Amino acid sequence: MELSAHEIEFRRQRLAHLETLKAAGHRPYGRAFARTGPLADVRAGFAEGQAVRIAGRVAAVREMGKSIFAHVQDGTGKFQIYVQKNALGEASFAAFKAVDLGDFIGVEGELFTTRTGEPSVKVQQWELLAKALHPLPEKWHGLQDTEVRYRQRYLDLIANPDVRQVFNIRSRLLSFIRRFLEERGFFEVETPVLQAMAGGAIATPFQTFYNALGQPMYMRIAPELFLKRLLVGGYDKVFELGKNFRNEGLDRSHNPEFTSLEIYEAYGDMGTMMHLVEDLVSAAAQELYGTMRVGKAGQEPIDLTPPWRVVPYHDVVCERAGADWFQRPVAAAREWARAQGLDIPDNLNHAQVTHEVYDKLVEKTLWQPTFVTRLPAELVPLAKRCEDDPALVDVFELVVRGRELAPGYTELNDPLDQRARLAEQAAGDAAKIDEDFLRALEHGMPPAGGMGIGIDRLVMVLTGEESIRDVMLFPQMKNREPKPDEKPPEE
RNA sequence: GGAGGCGUAGCUCAGUUGGAAGAGCAACUGACUCUUAAUCAGUGGGUCGUGGGUUCGAGCCCCUCCGCCUCUACCA
């Protein structure tokens, strides 16, 4: 990339400072530095006059002639240091003036409190740990440009402390989920991401090629079919926490690569799963926030206190479209839907019109956690039919903030029905039927409840973030096309 | 895929009717031994996303392309 005159000048200055520091005996990029502890711990254990060693990135410098105040920042917070000429000596103090914003330094000194009451370190010795050759983003407004924030997330993390909070929550959530499930006897497993056939959901997979085997491969779109093989194999309670990949568009609730939690429990059903997810999510909120009411200030809070509302698909559609909805002729249904502003082609049958109504008019109004149950069978090929109505399946969709958060099923364990429904879905293309999975089912899979929950969307619910990109450290971004006269240099 | 918005200094942003490219922070020089958005004085820094067009003259108007954001569509 071409550098502007300003960038060239900036780099020249920083390299000159680096030379100054080297001449003063500093290593430009240091080795391990034994710290008293992270900055938050030093602050928590503050004792006047105590000797400490701390390290971090220089986040602010205020020079005042023969003394300098600065802040260093690490993963836990910031801490002020006080650098005095008569404490360091002429040479060391002069060298410190070549320290730039963004550099990493380690200091040794003693704790004291300034006149304004700020805990600080009076520096006796310091060393350079790493020189930064680029400027930090502006300190007051932070880094606003969304593109830079996502493409260079490290700058976002340095400049915008709130961003770090979101990812701390995400990390603690994952840890909590593992603890919660393990305490209940679930076993964490890992199943293939690279698959010869991508099943378990309806989605376009990413395709790749395995050279050694000479065969096409796919990135998984769901772990479901492998987890069910484990039920066949005798694992009663399993879960997998991992990435799925779907070759689709991206928007603020979809990233092509996303994290899901899938859970299966033998001898259970969808009701088992409803209780489990209710307990899991409400306990997570309690653990992470100390309350079950979550969301950003200014948003309508989400109340995760159990029990959550349970409503059949039939009823929730009738609430919006009228009690006689399912008795109306399809033409009348289409007409009503169009009057509501939906785009309904003439070839949609009644069930399809109903689903449009649910998708476009109902789901987005379900703000507080709601289990929508008893969905039409054709929407869900891997779930068991309801005992009292074979046209419906025994599933729930958990909807929060108008968005689907988690589906759960009473899993289909009848291999003959499963074959028929996969065949219907494959529409005559035998290559799309996972025979290996069907063979496993034919060996007998215990009745089971299963569910999947989108971790990214769960983090969105908990943190109140509106975009999936704000809960993923490195969201998918489009490549910037190099200009024709600016080909990457060959090396 | 479609519609709209945005792209100006390292960062955050102004830029009037088409008429000499600006501010704050950051940087540099100097002063200052309790500052914390330090202060004060001074200096440097621009391919106005890209390529073309209209015009005497374009940051501004028109077209192409690139990227980001929002909506929409596809997709569960």
The per-residue pLDDT for A2 is 54
CB within 7 A of strand B (chain A, 80-109): 80, 82, 84-86, 100-101
Please identify residues in chain A, positions 334-363, with a C-beta within 7 angstroms of any atom of strand B: 343, 355, 359-360
Instruction: Specify which residue's alpha carbon is closest to the C1' of nucleotide B30.
Output: A65
The reply to whether A62 has its C-beta less than 7 Å from any atom of strand B is yes
Every domain range in chain A assigned CATH 3.30.930.10 = 161-308+368-470
pLDDT greater at residue A379 or residue A308: A308
pLDDT attached to residue A469: 95
Question: Who among residues 279-318 of A has its Cβ near strand B, under 7 Å?
Answer: none
The pLDDT tens digits for A448-475 are 999 999 999 999 999 999 999 999 999 9
Cα separation, A19 vs A98, in Å, equals: 9
Asked whether residue A312 carries a pLDDT value surpassing 80, the answer given is yes
Closest residue to B28 (CA, C1′) = A13
- Indicate if CB(A117) is under 7 A from strand B: yes
In this predicted model, which residue has the larger pLDDT, A279 or A423?
Answer: A279
**pLDDT tens for each residue of A318-365:** 999 999 999 999 999 988 988 888 888 888 888 888 998 998 889 988
Higher pLDDT, A11 or A426: A11
For residue A480, say whether its CB is under 7 Å from any atom of strand B.
yes
State which residues between 314 and 333 of chain A bring their CB within 7 Å of strand B: none
Mean pLDDT check: name the lowest of A67-76, A292-301, A345-354, A423-432: A423-432
CATH superfamily, domain A5-130, is: Nucleic acid-binding proteins (2.40.50.140)
**The pLDDT of residue A487:** 37
Give the integer Cα–Cα distance in Å for A69 and A122. Answer: 10
> Which nt is closest to the CA of A87, judged by C1'?
B33
Cα angle at A214 between A213 and A217, to 5 degrees? Answer: 85
Task: Check if residue A143 sits with its Cβ under 7 angstroms from strand B.
Answer: yes
pLDDT tens digits, one per residue of A208-264: 999 999 999 999 999 999 999 999 999 999 999 999 999 988 889 999 999 999 999
**Pairing mode, strands A207-210 and A215-219:** antiparallel
pLDDT at A245: 93
Nucleotide nearest to A69 (CA to C1'): B35
Residue A3 banded pLDDT, cuts 50, 70, 90 = low
Return the pLDDT at A23.
93
Nucleotides of B under 7 A from a protein CB: 1, 9-13, 24-28, 31-39, 44-47, 50, 65-76
Domain(s) of CATH 2.40.50.140: residues in chain A: 5-130
The Cα–Cα gap between A96 and A395 comes to 65
CB-to-strand B under 7 Å, chain A 370-409: 379, 404
Q: What percentage of chain A carries pLDDT values higher than 70?
A: 97
* A381 pLDDT higher than 90: no
Residue nearest to nucleotide B32 (CA to C1'): A65
What local confidence, expressed as pLDDT, does residue A481 receive?
60
CA A485 to C1' B65, in angstroms, rounded, equals 15
pLDDT, position A338: 86
What percentage of residues in chain A have a pLDDT greater than 90?
A: 75
Instruction: Out of A148-162, A234-248, A327-341, A419-433, pick the least confident.
Output: A419-433
What average pLDDT does the segment A21-38 reach? 94
Mean of the per-residue pLDDT values of chain A: 91
The pLDDT score that the predictor gives to residue A484 is 41
Residue type, A143: L
CATH architecture of A161-308+368-470: 2-Layer Sandwich (3.30)
Q: Tell the burial category of A10 from Cβ atoms under 10 Å away from its Cβ (0-12, 13-18, 19+).
A: middle
Q: Which nucleotide is nearest to A114 (CA to C1')?
A: B34
Confidence of residue A491 (pLDDT cuts 50, 70, 90): very low
Q: Which contacts of A81-85 are long-range, i.e. CB under 8 A and separated by 24 or more positions?
A: A81/A54, A81/A107, A81/A109, A81/A120, A81/A121, A81/A123, A82/A112, A82/A114, A82/A120, A82/A121, A82/A122, A82/A123, A83/A123, A83/A126, A84/A122, A84/A123
Query: Distance, angstroms, CA A478 to C1' B45?
Result: 31
pLDDT of residue A201: 86
